[in-house]
Structure 1
Amino acid sequence: MIRNIQTIIPGVATSDGAGVKLRRSLGGQQQVRLDPFLMLDEFSSNDPNDYVAGFPAHPHRGFETVTYMLEGHMLHEDHLGNQGHLKTGGVQWMTAGRGIIHSEMPQQVSGAMRGFQLWINLPAKEKMKPAGYKDIQVEDIPQVTLLNGGSVKVIAGSFENRGQTIQGPIQGITTAPLFLDVHLPPDTQFEHRIPKEQNAFVYIYEGDLELGSPMKAIPKQAAVVLGDGDQLFVKAGAAGAQFIVLAALPLHEPIVQYGPFVMNTRTEIEQAIDDYQNNRFVVS
């Protein structure tokens, strides 16, 4: 059964960190989420004034952050001693767990800075697990060439192609996330099975795309939430299309968010604030 459009969540211009300009679709309002996805930001600018101040040291607890760099160079550092250079095509996958304090600072003062940051919720039983960090270089992300001349980068989950299963570098997560970056030539089609149990959405960042059956055009820079079914079916327009596909198992748990802390109860949020203010993140 082909999945059709359920909801369109436009990206809204905003800023975060020390003034980095971006567009936020999921998470633009706290109730506008797609379990287990909490937030999706797209940052894209050729003007260093829009990004050079970066994201100085700040805390997180209770979820995972994924930064995918389409173009540019940022440096990740955290209180656990991790350091990673996030360059064009690379991914940073960070599990905040019980607490992490990190920064993401641009390592350039000119040129384009472009990419995405995604927040994925953790189940209640994992929210207080030790924090972790994985730096994934572009050469460690499988890229599949399609018969129609398109390509698929498999960041998380798996992709079936010509009888082979291509596994992304991120596996073994409770919500079983799928993260694909798909590039299609003009007027070509793309299909991918997404289990009906998973929530899923598509986000176009270049070109034009139609989706579903019957086909309907979908806007750029918006999270296009997919309805029931088990098959994604899209067609690129005359300019081709570049888009990301996200899917994961929902948690069906209460969400209480206070800025960079996402827990299940208000009491847990108050504890997170107290732990951060009293330097318990640093010693955890």
Structure 2
Amino acid sequence: MSQPTPVDQNTETVAHSRNVERLVAGQPTSDGAGVRLTRVITQHLQRRLDPYLMLDAFGSDNPDDYIAGFPNHPHRGFETITYMIAGRMRHNDSRGNEGILQNGGVQWMTAGRGIIHSELPEQEAGVMEGFQLWLNLPANEKMGEPAYKDIQNDDIAEIQPNANVKARVIAGTSHGVSGTIQHPVTQPLYLDIHFSGPGHFRQSLKPDHNAFIFVYRGAVAVNGKNIPLKHMAILENDPQADGVVIETDDAAKLILIAGRPLKEPIAQYGPFVMNTQQEIIQAVTDFQEGRLN
């Protein structure tokens, strides 16, 4: 892993931090061929957290919880961002792409008009932990060309704004450092923030962007509101707020996600996310008749 780049903590000036609107506890479930996971963003939160459609957190040292993986399945109309904290997963898809997602790496896949892929473990023991986030595509990009990008651990920028805090910049920009992924329409921000001890982290946010935090180690606080382990905090949209200040008295880890809402209709049926029911029917038909890939 490359050394984090020291940055001036004053680069991100936040005069008025957002508050926590509400806390959400993830719901245990399973997906794929029986992979156990925690679903943090469900369909009833899609409008509130637009452009984000789903967030799954997975983590286990029991191979029975993950060994079956995610055999071939289709997608259309959105992007999947898989961030592997620990473990190894192999990706194959109908476009001929293949890659290994491993410790600290990210797989960013744009389903566009359609892709069929599989994600299967490359390990039979040990810890597998990470997140999968679904990011919506604007209507005029839903039927675009599918794309796939593997971002290895060493290619992810890391910053260190102070002694006890570092952050991995997966997408967007923080403290003047840009991540590998930039999207001009949804403008995703994806940070993995690590506290080794007491400290604070400031991040500027556009007032109209939706944002949330998910804590996966320890606990943190925003404006005095405690965010416990394995909870998502939806950050309040406040026209007077220009960012968020995250604080903790101990070691903690969290992801901070934000993005520009599309404000478009959302029609979802399983792995297909379009704008109308008719488009969903067409996606199912295309898949059944072998036209998705």
Normalized against structure 1, the TM-score is what?
Answer: 0.94
- For residues 24-63 of structure 1, the aligned pairs below 5 Å read 24-27=39-42, 30-33=43-46, 34-63=49-78
Counterpart residue type for residue 150 of structure 2: D
- Alignment partner of 2:117 out of 95, 102, 105: 102
Counterpart residue type for residue 245 of structure 2: F
Report what 1:93 is aligned to: 108
Counterpart residue type for residue 167 of structure 2: V
1:271 aligned counterpart, secondary structure: helix
Q: How many residues matched?
A: 273
1:251 aligned counterpart, secondary structure: coil
By how many angstroms is 1:231 displaced?
Answer: 1.4
User: Contact 2:203/2:244 (CA < 8 Å) preserved in 1?
Assistant: yes
2:143 aligned counterpart, secondary structure: coil
Counterparts of 2:22 and 2:138 in 1: how far apart (Å)? 25
Counterparts of 1:173 and 1:109 in 2: how far apart (Å)? 40
Counterpart residue type for residue 36 of structure 2: K
- Alignment partner of 1:170 out of 171, 174, 181: 181
Unpaired runs of 5+ residues, structure 1, are none
Counterparts of 2:142 and 2:24 in 1: how far apart (Å)? 27
Residue-by-residue CA offset, 1:54-104 (whole Å, 9 max, x unaligned): 000000001000000000000001000001100000000000010000000
User: Contact 2:170/2:181 (CA < 8 Å) preserved in 1?
Assistant: yes
Report what 2:12 is aligned to: none
Q: Does 1:189 align with 2:200?
A: yes
Q: Does 1:8 align with 2:19?
A: no
Question: What is the root-mean-square deviation in Å for CA atoms of aligned residues?
Answer: 0.9
- Alignment partner of 2:225 out of 216, 225, 228: 216
Range with bigger deviation, 63-72 or 166-175:
166-175
Unpaired runs of 5+ residues, structure 2, are 1-15
Q: Does 1:123 align with 2:138?
A: yes
By how many angstroms is 1:260 displaced?
Answer: 0.3
- Alignment partner of 1:225 out of 234, 247, 258: 234
1:155 aligned counterpart, secondary structure: strand
Counterpart residue type for residue 31 of structure 1: H
Report what 1:255 is aligned to: 266
2:292 aligned counterpart, secondary structure: helix
- For residues 131-210 of structure 1, the aligned pairs below 5 Å read 131-160=146-175, 165-210=176-221
